[in-house]
Amino acid sequence: MPHALRFTSYRIQLWILLVLCFIWLKFGPDEDALERERQRKLLLAQLCHKKRVKAAGQIQAWWRGVLVRRTLLVAALRAWMIQCWWRTLVQRRIRQRQQALLRTYVIQEQAAVKLQACIRMWQCRQRYCQMCNALCLFQVPEGSLAFQTDGFLQVQCAIPSKHPEFHIEILSI
């Protein structure tokens, strides 16, 4: 846009403004127009106040929601902590019960093994004593010639051959 045209446009705007000011000064302010303008400003102020109140209400509602959510989050975290503690306690009790049962089982197994070992040893001693007694009956005294014929011993002994069997279980924990 050329410089002269801009200057002319500016001059026209000034001229219009001067004419309007002159008309307003000559005829004076219109009372009805002033009242309407004041009512319009009052309505605008009320509308602005309503918007501010509504916005403040929305902000307060949002803030109350934040506080409620924060409170619920804290309550949920506390409940979660209590649940974790309870689960740990229950697991500890279960593990203690399992260990007590395992100890009882091991003690019973060791007692059974010892009892079996004692019984087997007793049976072995019984058989050994039977064999010793049987050998003592059939043993010929050195000075006696009653049972010897031509250098051979004629007595035969029939002892049942029961071989002791040992079966031992060893449990280790």
- Backbone CA torsion sign across 154, 155, 158, 163: negative
pLDDT > 70 fraction of the chain, expressed in percent and rounded: 68
Per-residue pLDDT of the chain (173 residues; tens, 9 = 90+): 555 445 567 777 777 877 777 676 666 666 777 788 888 889 889 999 999 999 999 999 999 999 999 999 999 999 999 999 999 999 999 999 999 999 999 999 999 999 999 999 999 999 888 888 777 665 555 555 544 444 444 444 444 455 555 555 566 65
- CA–CA gap between residue 32 and residue 128 (Å, rounded): 141
Contact 124, 164 (CB under 8 A): yes
pTM confidence score: 0.41
Backbone angles phi, psi at 33, to 5 degrees: -65, -40
For the chain, the 3-state helix, strand and coil shares in percent, each to the nearest 5, are 75, 0, 20
Structure-token pair, residue 109: 């197994």
pLDDT in tens, 81-130: 999 999 999 999 999 999 999 999 999 999 999 999 999 999 999 988 88
- CA–CA gap between residue 80 and residue 72 (Å, rounded): 12
